[in-house]
Structure 1
Amino acid sequence: MTDDKWKMLDRKTVSFIRQWLDDSVFQNVSTKCSAYSLWKKLEGLYERKTAGNKAFLIRKLVNLKYKEGTSIPKHLNEIQSITNQLSSMKMSLDDELQTLLLLSSLPESWETLMVSLSNSAPDGIVIMSQVTSSLLNEELRRKNSATSHIDSQTLVLENRGMSKSKDRSDSRVGRSKSRSRKNIVYYNYGEKEHYKNQCKQPKKNKKMGKEVEYIESKENITTKVQGASYHATPRREFFGTYRFENFGVVKMGNYGTTNIIDIGDIHIKTNLSCKLVLKDVRHVIDLRLNLISVGRLQAKAYGEHFNATKKDFSIDPALSRKMYALDCVYTDVCGPLRTKTPGGSVNVPSISGALYFITFIDDFFRKVWAYALKTKDQVINVFKEFHARVERETKRQLKYIRSDNDGEYIRLFNNYCRSHDIQHELTVSDMPQHNIIAERMNRTITEKIRCMLSQAKLPKRFWDEALRTAVDVINLSPCTALDGDVVEHVWSGKDVSYRHLRVFGCRAFTYVSNNERSKLDGKTKECIFVGYSHDQFSYRL
């Protein structure tokens, strides 16, 4: 390995370690520039080989208890982590002692297994590998046992109401009283005394009452989708982490009650190879089926559509992320920018005469572009400039552009988009949430403009300069949609530097060339910093 490559890896290691340090910790190690010195400093601060630290780890290991419902591998990792810390302090524990500590951490529900392992140990010496294997097998057996128990309950509940007679020729004998025609309801209208196949009325699209459909997953687990207030399942194995607690009581459809014994998240893999995460799912062991709340899905911006046999879920296109640059771009016009005066609201033209600004946001990278406009009829010219620029930078074709259903887009965009094979998506009138990315970005930019002008005590006509700076700051900031990565870094693929950043509205001094001054004139001129130039590396003053 060359010295340059070693130095690069060392810098990356230092950067990675610093990312996980708290601010209070970072102050103690900020002067350490190599990975070795940084790690030694952290060891000296938090892993000192003192008797107090050793006693703390031993006490933590002895008091560690397995929580019912937690996975066995996770519990084993906790024990191994403490053991490794003790080993780094030159204090090793033999295999038998570790095994005995592991057995002592198990609750009473595992007593039978512990007794069995102790009695079967040769010469009373238990081995960690054998105990670990037995614990993993026991965990798997308990999962399968819980599944079998639920399946048997489901079978009993589904057969409930059927009479013992198998003679179907007599309808009075073939079914019990609970299935008599007097106790059933109309398939469409909620009235009594006929079945679905006897209904002569067309099916109604009811907005009130329960919505019930069935879907079937790859595991052939029937799931009931209804207008419940939350998701629920009887399947213990669906939960990644688990704990037995009392989370209240739920009322069943048969007017009985049962306890909610856990609340957690469930990951569902769909046939489209994507994952759907259901939040705050209740574990109700007495349920026959898995229940998915349509209301909860809609509240999380999921859409759905029905057919005769199943219910499919899809994310609302307005909130779904694309996979590549320029697959979809959101745009919106903001303005005219106004301010209130004693005589009413008046327009605030910028120093360049602009009254509006337009934003473009790439759906995948969340890169933002903004342009000041004097009039709305400049939109098409600005879009042409933006279109040529982004396709030149990415070497990709713009596929979709989404905008509000306003006149400036409908009249001017359609012909240009058709000629360049761009799909123009229009939102529904008076439904700004369909273009929520652009709407929210315009609001964010407007708030930044207002704050920067207020802090710098500059006139409001400088709003277009503040607009440029606000967009630059947004593109240099971490983005939640990118899992904390910086927009400009992801877009360009280059490392981002913050050394050139300055406070908007601060004092600045520009150099006066020899041709512009005499011998007694000053060499600098005081200015106000208002942004960054995009055409060359310089400041706007």
Structure 2
Amino acid sequence: MRITSINGKRYILVIVDDYSHYTWVHFLRSKDEAPAMIITFLKRITVLLQSPVIIIRTDNGTEFMNQVLKVYFDSVSITHQMYSVRTPQQNGVVERRNRTLVEAARIMLIFSRAPLFLWAEAIATACFTQNCSIIHRRFNKTPYELINRRKPDILFLHVFGAICYPKNDREDIGKLGAKSDIGFFIGYSADSCAYKVYNRRTKKIMETMNVSFDELSVMDFEQYSSKPGLNSMTSG
């Protein structure tokens, strides 16, 4: 991405399960982080799904074609298949998902009037929502259900950019202090059953379950110099 995220990330790593079409997104500061990220993901997903990864398909970029990944793939008997960088149709599922996620995130940022440095949160939220809502034609189930073997809880979903009120957990607020801060909903925790909120007071992202939502009010992010526009967010 042309604009660095609030956490200093510039690149998106999109991983799609060929069976379920479940999608994971990871964000990188540089492409050099890709090998370690991929190895960590493969170890975690093998344990989570109790099933070994047999084949990985990537383009032949240096972030995938390197000795670190080759040694790891050989050690766990993973077959690495490659397709040409200039022939994305060879890996159409990932390419389509990448475009869909970026376009969805762009629209979410525009309509919530969120600052562009929240692009990574918008993409992650779009990914989670699509995993829970898109129906796999072959199985007539969502990717979430195919991976987790249960239906997603749609009541857990909220509108990106919605005004919300996370509980104020400061110890110095006193008896008359505000019990809640004002924030904007920007996604779901990757590690727990919690929401990600951009706290307007601290200008930081927090994860919490102690939050109430007001999705009927007009979204009103503070205006920043980098305002989202139709052509200002492109993947790179």
- Settle same-fold status: TM greater than 0.5: yes
Aligned-partner SS, 2:25: strand
Aligned-partner SS, 2:171: helix
| Aligned: 1:487 with 2:127 | no
Aligned to 1:390: 45
How far apart, in 2, do the equivalents of 1:422 and 1:369 lie?
19
Aligned to 1:370: 25
Deviations 1:437-456 (A, max 9, x none): 11111101100110110111
How far apart, in 1, do the equivalents of 2:168 and 2:20 lie?
41
Q: 1:430 aligns with which of 86, 100, 122?
A: 86
Query: 1:476, CA displacement in angstroms?
Result: 0.1
Between stretches 414-423 and 450-459, larger displacement belongs to 414-423
Aligned to 2:110: 454
Matched letter for residue 50 of structure 2: K
How far apart, in 2, do the equivalents of 1:481 and 1:433 lie?
20
Aligned to 2:157: 501
Percent identical pairs in the alignment equals: 28
Aligned to 2:125: 469
Query: 1:534, CA displacement in angstroms?
Result: 2.5
How far apart, in 1, do the equivalents of 2:46 and 2:154 lie?
26
Aligned-partner SS, 1:476: helix
Query: 1:405, CA displacement in angstroms?
Result: 1.4
Query: Mind listing any 5+ residue stretches in structure 1 that lack a counterpart?
Result: 1-336, 338-346
| Aligned: 1:361 with 2:16 | yes
Q: 1:444 aligns with which of 85, 100, 109?
A: 100
Aligned-partner SS, 2:156: coil
* Matched ranges for 1:105-124 at <5 A: none
* CA gap 1:422/1:524 in 2 versus in 1, 3 angstroms: same
Deviations 1:293-347 (A, max 9, x none): xxxxxxxxxxxxxxxxxxxxxxxxxxxxxxxxxxxxxxxxxxxx1xxxxxxxxx2
| Aligned: 1:408 with 2:81 | no
Q: 2:6 aligns with which of 347, 351, 355?
A: 351
For the 8 Å contact 2:17–2:23, the answer to whether it is kept is yes
Aligned to 1:535: 191
How far apart, in 1, do the equivalents of 2:76 and 2:154 lie?
37
How far apart, in 2, do the equivalents of 1:429 and 1:454 lie?
30
Query: 1:477, CA displacement in angstroms?
Result: 1.1
Matched letter for residue 379 of structure 1: A
How far apart, in 2, do the equivalents of 1:537 and 1:516 lie?
27
Give the length in aligned residue pairs: 196
Deviations 1:11-50 (A, max 9, x none): xxxxxxxxxxxxxxxxxxxxxxxxxxxxxxxxxxxxxxxx
How far apart, in 1, do the equivalents of 2:137 and 2:58 lie?
20
Who wins on radius of gyration, i.e. which is larger? 1
Between stretches 510-519 and 453-462, larger displacement belongs to 510-519
* Matched ranges for 1:84-483 at <5 A: 337=1, 347-411=2-66, 412-483=68-139
How far apart, in 1, do the equivalents of 2:74 and 2:105 lie?
35
Query: 1:514, CA displacement in angstroms?
Result: 6.5
Query: 1:429, CA displacement in angstroms?
Result: 4.6
Higher relative contact order (CA 8 A, sep 6+): 2
Matched letter for residue 39 of structure 2: K
Matched letter for residue 467 of structure 1: I
How far apart, in 1, do the equivalents of 2:170 and 2:119 lie?
33
Matched letter for residue 10 of structure 2: L
Matched letter for residue 188 of structure 2: Y
Matched letter for residue 191 of structure 2: D
Aligned-partner SS, 1:499: helix
* Matched ranges for 1:58-77 at <5 A: none
Structure richer in helix, relative to its length: 1
Query: 1:483, CA displacement in angstroms?
Result: 4.1
For the 8 Å contact 2:5–2:117, the answer to whether it is kept is yes
Between stretches 407-416 and 385-394, larger displacement belongs to 407-416
- Give the TM-score taking structure 1 as reference length: 0.35
Query: Mind listing any 5+ residue stretches in structure 2 that lack a counterpart?
Result: 198-236
Query: 1:517, CA displacement in angstroms?
Result: 1.2
How far apart, in 2, do the equivalents of 1:480 and 1:493 lie?
14
Aligned to 2:233: none
How far apart, in 2, do the equivalents of 1:348 and 1:476 lie?
28
Between stretches 509-518 and 380-389, larger displacement belongs to 509-518
Deviations 1:195-223 (A, max 9, x none): xxxxxxxxxxxxxxxxxxxxxxxxxxxxx
Query: 1:478, CA displacement in angstroms?
Result: 2.9
For the 8 Å contact 1:478–1:484, the answer to whether it is kept is no
For the 8 Å contact 1:365–1:482, the answer to whether it is kept is no
- Give the TM-score taking structure 2 as reference length: 0.79
Query: 1:397, CA displacement in angstroms?
Result: 0.8
Aligned-partner SS, 1:472: helix
* CA gap 1:514/1:413 in 2 versus in 1, 3 angstroms: closer
Aligned-partner SS, 1:479: coil
Matched letter for residue 19 of structure 2: F
